Amino acid sequence: MSDDIAAQVTEVICEQLDVAPGDVSLEKTFMDDLGADSLAIVELVLALEEKFDVKIPDDEVDQIKTVGDAVNYIKARLGQ
Amino acid sequence: MARRRIAITGIGLISPLGIGLEENWQAVCEGRSGIGPITRFDASAFPTRIAGEVRGFDAERWIPKRQQRQMDTFIQYAVAAADMAYQMAGLADDPPPPERIGVYIGSGMGGLPGIEACYESYKAKGPRHGISPFFVPAVIINLASGQVSIRLGAKGPNFSMVSACSTGAHSIGEAFRVIERGDADVMIAGGAESTITPLGVGGFCSARALSSRNDEPEKASRPFTKSRDGFVMSEGAGVMILEAFERATARGARIIAEIVGYGANSDAFHITMPPKDGEGAQRCMRLALDDAGVPPEAVGYINAHATSTAADVIETRAIRAVFGAHADKGLAVSSTKSMHGHLLGAAGGIETAICALALERGVLPPTINLDDPDPECDLDYVPHTARKAQVEYALNNSFGFGGTNASLLLRRVE
């Protein structure tokens, strides 16, 4: 994960889910691999919203299952 | 069918006197105070600027960092104290079936720090970003029992008693009944509290309930004295393992003491004050004695509710009414709140634990700061220093706002 958005998303994930950066890679799922439950994912999404100043509608949250999903979603929203 | 007996096989304590049973026991035996200036928030505008804060609590010993955000402080204390009690009882090595373990850990006010912080955050950031999805499970009272059950795999009865300052004692008493009637074999029971916040302190200040002896924090909690001017708010948790006696004996567990009687009733009188004769407290102590079939003369020690307020006289009168001549012949009464302050919903937890240890170790903890006894408070309060004494029965009293009362009678085990 060399690009800047991925690095920033990783930082938020590490902070919110209390995991080490080394454990975070694009294919990892939040629930099965990183130990998040549905409430933790809500909290993570809200933290991403604050970090990147975007609003992520609830029906789109369901599509964000992996770290890669989150990175791609943020990139798309930021027009990158 | 013979009545089931109930043993205490584990104790976990967190208070201003320390973390763990031994730190707390040593402090009460040495007559040390845990009261100091408030550091949790800027209390400079408050008439009371002292409290009994827990120091050196390292939540990470018990709770991974990520999960700490999901628990307000009272729940963290409950989880840590429950784990200490569970380990002490040796249940990790010899657990009963999960369905036979229950949890009754209550709190007087629950997640007040979390409620205050979340309201601030809501005002600053609005509802979407200002209110965490963990807000509700972090602050509601029964999550103390809920979190403990999840961690220890306790699938039996699970909820939380709420009865203000008698919460801890009611929780233990009701847990005692659960085992007695056969609904579980092990109960993890007690109270947890952490409300040293602007609203927590401010609310009791407004009710004129707190000591404002700000210049002498260690002397502020002074039950039974002429110069007492209110209680000192404190925090922590007192949790114990109650276990069916035959089960504890069969597995060779160390039995700290036995619980033999429980009384619970109400004054039906006033929201914060008991009646002058302590009629409700009298009946409550008698209920506990009658429950055990033990005569008043058999009781050697009472850990009084005595909070360093006007009601200390009323409890004294109630004890005199119940114990008669025995109140002047061999009955020792102390208020350990003089040292650890008033843990509110956790008070009954730590104080019942102190009764159990007093029986096991043959030491009665003192009432410190008893420099100028109120003439109307004229019992043997074990002033200033602990006393060696082998007593057979000890009684714990806990009374709460709303006129609710709890008394627990404990017996020494050889």
From the CA of B137, how many Å to the nearest CA of chain A?
10
Q: Which of B236, B380, B363, B233 is nearest to B308 (CA)?
A: B233
Question: Which residue in A14, A37, A43 has the most chain B C-beta atoms within 10 A of its own C-beta, making it the best mutation to test that interface?
Answer: A43
Is residue B10 scored above 50 in pLDDT? Answer: yes
CA distance to partner chain A, nearest, from residue B129 (Å): 6
Return the pLDDT at B135: 97
Lowest mean pLDDT among A34-43, B104-113, B195-204, B294-303: A34-43
Cβ of B65 within 8 Å of Cβ of A18? The answer is yes
Q: What is the pLDDT of residues B274-291, one digit of tens each?
A: 999 999 999 999 999 999
**Residue range B403-407: mean pLDDT, rounded:** 98
Residues of chain B contacting A49 with CB distance shorter than 8 Å: 128-129
Across chain B, what does the average pLDDT equal? 97
Q: Do the chains contact at A43 and B132, CB–CB below 8 Å?
A: yes
Catalytic position from the list B118, B342, B355, B377: B342
The 10s digit of each residue's pLDDT in A3-13 is 899 999 999 99
Q: What is the pLDDT of residues B199-219, one digit of tens each?
A: 999 999 999 999 999 999 999
Contacts of B134 in chain A (CB under 8 A): 39, 43
Predicted local distance difference test score (pLDDT) of residue B1: 64
- Model confidence pLDDT, tens digit, residues B45-55: 999 999 999 99
* Each residue's pLDDT tens digit, B213-237: 999 999 999 999 999 999 999 999 9
B133 — contact with chain A (CB < 8 Å)? Answer: yes
Determine the average pLDDT of the residues in B134-150.
98
Confidence check: pLDDT of A2 > 60: no
Q: Any long-range contacts for B210-213 (C-beta under 8 Å, 24+ apart)?
A: B210/B47, B210/B48, B211/B48, B211/B50, B211/B308, B212/B47, B212/B48, B213/B50
Contacts of B37 (CB under 8 A, 6+ apart): B43, B49, B50, B214, B217
- Number of Cβ within 10 Å of residue B35's Cβ equals 27
Please check the confidence at residue B146 and state whether its pLDDT lies above 60.
yes
The predicted-structure confidence for A48-68, as pLDDT tens digits, reads as follows 999 999 999 999 999 999 999
Residue B182 has which token pair?
């056969």
Annotated catalytic, B165?
yes
Q: How far is Cα of residue B274 from the mean position of the Cα atoms in its chain?
A: 19
Per-residue model confidence as pLDDT tens digits over B19-28: 999 999 999 9
Confidence grade of residue B392 (pLDDT, cut at 50, 70, 90):
very high
B130-151: average pLDDT: 97
Residues in CB range of B189: below 8 A, 6 or more apart: B103, B104, B105, B171, B172, B174, B175, B176, B239, B240, B242, B349
**Hey, what domains does chain A have and what are their CATH numbers?**
4-77 (1.10.1200.10)
Q: Exposed e or buried b for every residue in B172-181, given b needs 16+ CB within 10 A?
A: bbbbbebbbe
Say if residue B125's pLDDT is above 80. yes
Active site residue B342: yes
Please check the confidence at residue B191 and state whether its pLDDT lies above 70: yes
CA distances from B329 to B300, B304, B324, B355, B379 (A): 10, 17, 10, 19, 10
Largest CA distance in chain A: 30
Contact with chain B for residue A39, Cβ under 8 A? yes
Please tell me the predicted confidence (pLDDT) of residue B11.
98
Domains of chain B with bracketed CATH? 6-250 (3.40.47.10), 258-411 (3.40.47.10)
Model pLDDT, residue B312: 98
Nearest residue of chain A to residue B129 (CA atoms) = A46
Answer positive or negative: Cα dihedral of B144, B146, B151, B153. Answer: positive
Position A1 confidence tier, pLDDT thresholds 50, 70, 90:
very low
Between positions 42 and 71 of A, the ones with CB within 8 A of B are 42-43, 46, 49-50
Q: Between B64, B133, B137, which is nearest A42 by CB?
A: B133
Do residue A18 and residue B134 have CB atoms under 8 angstroms apart?
A: no
Q: B residues 225-254 near A, CB within 8 Å? A: none
pLDDT 10s digits, B59-98: 999 999 889 999 999 999 999 999 999 999 999 998 999 9
- Which chain B residues contact residue A43 at CB under 8 A? 132-134
